[in-house]
Structure 1
């Protein structure tokens, strides 16, 4: 990857954050990113299936941003962009549906390359039950040097990040927005700590704000980074179940914590178990399962 190509790629992603497959299609049309600056707006609109007015704005901002030292701007904010073509880009993410073209990270970059990552997710309305379950699930995994991946949402995600650090482990938080914003606000202090001591990751340029549709999209990254998925609590209609579907599509094991049949927050996990998820109540069970069917050591 030449410096020129990287600058062009990061600039395009900044003004129009295409996923990798869409970027590849654009590149096939253009032949070379050098052609983008002089590409007629009408042609670009047809390539991207957008309005010509939008293509005009894209080209205007792209040409303008090419004059800015974007990587210096990222460095100032301690943000590291990792394009798909970089050696630092995780191989596991290249296997998911429509991988991110660029990852933006803050914190301990070594966690991204760690071979043993496992996701912990659950309801935003998770109860004390999730916290108690994580006391039994996380320590054995952390003792085996697993990095815990979650989404820094309220409830189960927050419990997972905090418990991991409390037990001396390492954790990655995947955000559904850019680094210049924070959601939910009550997790901002935790997020700032993770950015210094752990790792924050997003596929969105720093200025991109919070949009509801971006959170289901980020779930493919959570599952894609991880060897398996642990669900603590989930209602029947829950974004958590979307992540489990993605994990299953990616060929990942899904572990679910069984719960009371009277608990709304356990109806989703109990349903997952009925449909084939592996019921667990100890981290040792997960280690046994992973040792049986993989060579994660």
Structure 2
């Protein structure tokens, strides 16, 4: 079992959790060459597996069920691990980076010099369409790759407008790559899986649970140098993404809106708290110091 197979097996074994996987990856970084000597009980200790999950993890790690899942994913999936050369540097530097990342599409997009995460309300509005239609051509002209979550509303609109302007885009989803949520994003996801890039840390057949999308947000925040919030309510999930971006010491920007519009309340509060107000595409481009605008 090589390192990538070990990490994939670890990822597919119930009971360890994302933080536990990362603790094991850190341990392996500090103890090169020790992989072959690790017993399931030792992995439990390194990963700080909770007592109530320890027996399940240790019994499952080398079980037939996990071995079959491993064989299936090696056959049907493409994946990166924390130690691969193609693993994105910015994501590795972020809070709790994924140890295993499944992908479909053009992995070279992860090497783009300028990634911008765009998040916002799942309610598509005339204002969000106006804003993104105004900003996107200049962003794409300056070779920004748009990262978003393939959700309804601002996410899907961001992907679509990036493509319409002949740019590139990356989708990060909260299900297995063979599923789509919401169903309305299925065709867009399938197109991006063939021509752009779709990422997920969830195995095949994993349905979209509520906490998956919170976990997914940390990848959206971690991949990019900056995050733009287009529209967001006061307690929007988009604000979780911006909090994670700030935790990663990344730039956060927001589109101001009417003070009586609930969909702009979250953005206006972000600006009041110190996020950069975006009025033009140049406001975004200014956050990429190496960029020579056209």
1:54 to 35, 53, 56: 56
Cα distance in 1 for partners of 2:40, 2:267 equals: 51
Cα distance in 2 for partners of 1:22, 1:46 equals: 5
Residue 93 of structure 1: aligned partner? 91
Unaligned runs of at least 5 residues, structure 2: none
Cα distance in 2 for partners of 1:214, 1:46 equals: 20
Cα distance in 1 for partners of 2:68, 2:199 equals: 24
Cα distance in 2 for partners of 1:47, 1:248 equals: 27
1:187 to 185, 188, 207: 185
8 A Cα contact 1:156 1:232, kept in partner: yes
Cα distance in 2 for partners of 1:223, 1:242 equals: 9
Residue 4 of structure 1: aligned partner? 2
Residue 158 of structure 1: aligned partner? 156
2:139 to 141, 163, 184: 141
Q: CA RMSD in A?
A: 2.8
SS at match of 2:267: helix
Shift of 1:215: 0.8
2:220 to 216, 219, 222: 222
SS at match of 1:48: coil
1:295 matched to 2:293: no
8 A Cα contact 1:136 1:281, kept in partner: no
Cα distance in 2 for partners of 1:91, 1:215 equals: 22
- CA pair 64-222 structure 1, distance change in 2 beyond 3 A: closer
* 4+ runs deviating over 6 angstroms: 41-46
Shift of 1:180: 2.6
Cα distance in 1 for partners of 2:105, 2:34 equals: 33
1:65 matched to 2:67: yes
Cα distance in 2 for partners of 1:85, 1:271 equals: 39
Residue 109 of structure 1: aligned partner? 107
TM-score, reference length from structure 1: 0.87
TM-score, reference length from structure 2: 0.87
8 A Cα contact 1:118 1:228, kept in partner: yes
